[in-house]
């Protein structure tokens, strides 16, 4: 790294992309991370920071633009930190994401398994059914700049639903008209912190205002403006969050107008969603994701399926029609209540749900002698705790279907599963988040004694 100097300009070729979507250029053996770079381009870059094992740079000249370089459609690209790949064609974005999953499986997981494919979105725009707009201390409503809490005011986002953008604009107008204060995280004063919006496939809206207190002035006027901007609104809520920190939602809710839930459909089933419910944000791609999970589960109607991190029961209930019995486990009590309601609503009688930490539930069921044929997991970004993996292995399922939102933790867990006798046999990437660096993966792990049969 001694050869690279800050503010000096070097010439290099972009080899690929980092896990954060940055271009990778190697200069004299040193790795330089370059935003806005496209694989195959030769660029002049200025070194902006030299670190112990790598460096950061920025492009000052592109000698010949790649055919995979695209003109960003979003006017906020480069200011808003929400999207990483607006400068790439969609096929190149998919290639980068598939390679990211492959690298994690191979380098971190130690598995010699090829990622079969990446399933891209038919429409990579306006797909998000959940929007969280932070409110800046100056009243700006939009999204954070990358690696900061400075809010960039955004009037229209290419990946949010237009109904959500109109709802955020209505809140902005209400704040200006009635001089409602915005929350200032540096002082802890002010009221409005976030605008949280859910949209279902029918275009219905659930709007929740996150505030630093129990309420705000002019709540009826707020509801009226939101309903006028988004006629599909079914409920307007206030969420109280008086804690400092980055957590968006507090624990107390109050309904200002309408109802406190939204109904949505997924793979022919109907689900009830409250504001804090975990629910995949891209409905079309969720059906693709769950379809691949069902394929990997290879159910014949005779199996018992255990679904850890079940949330409101989406994967559990999607599996129910192809299994003898399904069991869901989740630590959030409200989610379990929603899951039980969703089972009853859809007439599903072979589903049971348990509330508790995944490790505790798995250990308890294993101690009670439960022997599921298939275990499915859809953990948060941090992946599985070692004790969860140990409990799953102790139950001895034939197959584990792992739905992952982070390739790095998936790779780590694949290696841990291998130590318990489970081998990765299949993997498929699904682009749930077009425009961003994030990617979902469905992975199949089989008991090593059965690994040969799983491959055939």
Q: Which residues are catalytic?
A: 405
Q: Which DSSP symbol is given to 314?
A: H
d(CA 262, CA 197): 11
d(CA 296, CA 364): 26
Give the 3-state secondary structure of residue 430: strand
d(CA 132, CA 304): 37
Nearest to 32 by CA among 443, 40, 345, 15: 15
Q: Which two tokens stand for residue 176?
A: 């200006």
- Taking the CA of residue 354 as centre, how many other CA atoms within 13 Å lie in the half-sphere pointing to its CB? 16
d(CA 251, CA 229): 27
d(CA 97, CA 90): 11
H or E, element range at 455: helix 451-455
Q: Which DSSP symbol is given to 69?
A: B
Cα distance between the two ends of the chain: 48
Measure CA 44 to chain center: 34
Q: Which two tokens stand for residue 351?
A: 């589903």
C-alpha to C-alpha distances, 348 to 327, 341, 365, 456, nearest whole angstrom:
12, 10, 22, 32
d(CA 363, CA 358): 8
According to DSSP, the residues that pair with 394 across neighbouring strands are none
Pairing state of beta strands 351-355 and 325-330? parallel
For 252, list phi and psi in degrees, rounded to 5: -105, 135
**Are the C-beta atoms of residues 15 and 52 closer than 8 Å to each other?**
no
């Amino acid at each position: 790294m001694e050869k690279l100097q800050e503010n000096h300009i070097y010439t290099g070729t972009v080899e690929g992309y980092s896990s954060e979507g940055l271009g990778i250029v190697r200069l004299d053996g040193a790795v330089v991370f370059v935003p806005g770079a496209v694989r195959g381009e030769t660029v002049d870059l200025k070194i902006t920071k030299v670190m112990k094992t790598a460096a950061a740079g920025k492009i000052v000249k592109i000698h010949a633009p790649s055919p995979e370089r695209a003109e960003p459609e979003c006017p906020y690209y480069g200011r808003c930190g929400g999207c990483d790949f607006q400068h790439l064609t969609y096929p190149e974005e998919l290639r980068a994401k598939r390679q990211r999953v492959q690298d994690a499986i191979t380098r971190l997981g130690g598995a010699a398994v090829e990622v079969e494919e990446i399933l891209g979105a038919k429409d990579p725009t306006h797909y998000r059914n959940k929007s969280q707009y932070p409110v800046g201390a100056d009243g700006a409503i939009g999204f954070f700049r990358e690696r900061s809490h400075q809010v960039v005011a955004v009037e229209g986002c290419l990946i949010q639903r237009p109904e959500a953008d109109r709802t955020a604009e209505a809140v902005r107008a209400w704040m200006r008209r009635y001089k409602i204060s915005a929350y200032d995280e540096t002082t802890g004063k002010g009221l409005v912190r976030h605008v949280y919006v859910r949209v279902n496939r029918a275009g219905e809206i659930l709007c929740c205002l996150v505030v630093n207190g129990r309420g705000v002035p002019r709540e009826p006027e707020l509801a009226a403006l939101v309903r006028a901007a988004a006629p599909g609104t079914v409920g307007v809520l206030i969420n109280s969050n008086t804690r400092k920190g980055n957590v968006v939602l507090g624990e107390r809710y109050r309904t200002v107008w309408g109802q406190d839930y939204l109904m949505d459909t997924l793979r022919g089933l109907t689900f009830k969603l409250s504001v804090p419910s975990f629910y995949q944000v891209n409905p079309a791609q969720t059906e693709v994701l769950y379809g691949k999970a069902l394929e990997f589960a290879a159910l014949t109607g005779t199996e018992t399926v255990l679904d850890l991190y079940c949330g409101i029961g989406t994967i559990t209930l999607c599996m129910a029609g192809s299994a003898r019995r399904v069991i869901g486990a989740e630590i959030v009590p409200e989610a379990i209540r929603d899951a039980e309601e969703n089972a009853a609503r859809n007439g599903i009688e072979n589903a049971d749900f348990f509330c508790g930490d995944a490790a505790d539930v798995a250990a308890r069921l294993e101690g009670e002698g439960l022997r599921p044929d298939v275990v499915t997991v859809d953990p948060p970004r941090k992946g599985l705790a070692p004790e969860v993996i140990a409990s799953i292995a102790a139950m001895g399922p034939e197959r584990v279907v792992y739905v992952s939102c982070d390739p790095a933790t998936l790779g780590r867990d694949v290696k841990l599963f291998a130590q318990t006798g489970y081998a990765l046999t299949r993997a498929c990437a699904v682009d749930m988040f077009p425009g961003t660096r994030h990617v979902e993966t469905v992975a199949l792990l089989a008991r090593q004694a059965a690994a040969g049969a799983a491959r055939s």
